[in-house]
A = this chain, B = another copy of it.
Amino acid sequence: MFSNIKIDKDRVVYIQLKDYIKDMILKGLLRRDEKLPSTREMASMFNVSRNTIMCAYEFLQDEGFVYMKKGRGTFVSNVKVDFQEKWKVSWESKINNYGRLSEKLDIIKHEAKWQKGMISFKSIAPDESLFNVDEFKKAFLNRMAIEGEKVLNYGYAKGYKPLIEYLLKYMENKGVNIQEKDILITNGFTEGFDLVLSCITKEGDGIICENPTHNTAIKIMRLHGLNITGVDMERDGVNLNMLEKELKKNKFKISYFVPSYHNPTGIVMSPEKRVSIYNILKHHDIPIIEDGFNEELRYFGAHVSPMAAFSGSGNSVIYIGSFSKILFPGIRIGWILGDKILIDYLESIKRSRNIHTSSLDQAIFYDYLNCGNFDKYIKKARKVYKEKYEFALKCAKQYIKNREVLGEGGMHIFIKLKDINSRELLARCYRRKVIFTPGDVFYVDDKGQDTLRLGFSRVSKENIKKGFMIIGEEIQKLGGYV
């Protein structure tokens, strides 16, 4: 009867036995009131101690699968497994428009998939080999020693208080006036942006942003049914004339900007342009969502204040920050800094969505930051990524000639091919085992079909060179202007 059980020596034996017997009962292979072998018999059958068998039987009793009669043994309970005849629901037909649109806009499901041996320039995730895991472990053990039980129980929707305090100070250190402002901790930028749009926009509202822009942001704006207006990018940020023109032409509820290492172009908006945009939007009274994307990664040049710093004691900028684009994206931590009243509403929405962000992760992250580890990490990361960026730029100039290369650092560069379709190029490169992100996914309209983004954060120098060479060759073959 128990002949086909395989004991895995690495797992607790009595749990395996318990699960096995449970399974047999559920499948009807052990019937009601049937007597199980004695603990002695079982022990010799599996060559384990009687204690182990007793433990398994006790668990089965606790879970209601067996009952024990003193001096008589262990018997199978009256477990009803009343399988009903098949009832098939056609889920495909039950999915609503939001579900369908989510799937349609889910780039990961529809783009060329990475396969073993390929060189991929798709990712802009950080290189995990730079993570200082030892410091992270220390932070974990430290928090566990101080308040292990506490951070493993429910926390607050707004976030873990010491982390909120730390980030308020951190934002103040970027020149942001935090009077009458507050912070909500989110599961990364994505959740932050989704929460803000959930709170202040409704279907059909207008939003104005850079074009191209962060593709996840485009997805979220579309899922909220917003009318998206994109403003063309110049070398130092959006075209101000076009911005003014669009603002006069249409009504907008809110605006969205990525001033540093703009995704996908890699452009850092000049301080002058930041001020101009701020003033133009102020004139039209259209609040700003500022995406703090990779601001921390700035390699050179004088400090540039985030737009949130310009507003002083004003409250027109909602700043969404996240370290996780450069550090530990696996623990999903971001934050929204904004007006106290707004944050109060966002807190309620956050609670209705998932109660709160993992208190454990927030506590570890706080400890890690508070010990100064982030500053040490970012110094190392800046150096490594700067070197890679410069190498990538050199390779781009060498192999991808006469094309416009954008990007002032960060983890990616952006290329305009002008007269070549980047999806056609991708199809060719794919055959030669090189993949990248076609730029059209970053455009809010049908522009950008001649563009591509090359992320290099997790590609070795050798492969950057090799990959860019292949891309360059395929561009040559596709002809186009030289």
Contacts and interface: CB of A to CB of B under 8 A. Distances in A.
A361 interface: yes
A159 B66 CA distance: 34
Given A86-B312, A91-B315, A375-B15, A153 B128 contact: yes
A340 B355 CA distance: 27
B194 A372 contact: no
A235 to B, nearest CB: 19
A451 to B, nearest CB: 23
Interface stretch (A44-52, A144-152, A401-409, A474-482): A144-152
A153 B328 CA distance: 5
In this complex, the interface size class of chain A, counting residues with CB under 8 Å from chain B, is 35 or more
Given A303-B77, A305-B81, A152 B133 contact: yes
Contact of A65 (B103, B128, B303, B329): B303
Interface string A146-165: 00111111110100000000
A237 to B, nearest CB: 15
A250 interface: no
A42 to B, nearest CB: 18
Interface stretch (A225-233, A239-247, A275-283): A275-283
Contact of A151 (B11, B154, B330): B330
Contacts of A220: 352
A80 B314 CA distance: 18
Contacts of A315: 87-89, 91
Interface in A164-192: 172-175, 186-188, 190-191
A194 B352 contact: yes
Interface stretch (A56-64, A438-446, A462-470): A56-64
Contact of A95 (B175, B338, B345): B345
Nearest to A155: B330
A92 interface: yes
A74 interface: no
A145 to B, nearest CB: 9
Interface stretch (A198-206, A413-421, A425-433): A198-206
A359 interface: yes
Interface string A102-114: 1101101100000
A175 B371 contact: no
Interface in A110-154: 125-126, 128-129, 131, 133, 136-137, 140-141, 144, 148-154
A198 B98 contact: yes
B62 A382 contact: yes
A384 B309 CA distance: 53
A309 B25 CA distance: 13
A258 interface: no
A345 to B, nearest CB: 5
A370 interface: yes
A22 B314 contact: no
Nearest to A271: B80
B103 A348 contact: yes
A354 B64 contact: no
A30 to B, nearest CB: 12
Contact of A77 (B65, B302, B309, B316): B302
Nearest to A353: B194
A360 interface: yes
Most buried by B among A79, A86, A298, A353: A353
A198 B358 contact: no
Interface string A298-340: 1011111100011111111000000000001111100000110
A278 B82 CA distance: 11
Given A82-B275, A379-B59, A99 B199 contact: yes
A84 B311 contact: yes
A223 interface: yes
A298 B63 contact: yes
A311 B19 CA distance: 21
A356 interface: yes
Contact of A108 (B12, B81, B92, B351): B351
9 contacts: A25-B303, A86-B312, A86-B314, A99-B349, A102-B199, A102-B351, A137-B141, A331-B360, A360-B361
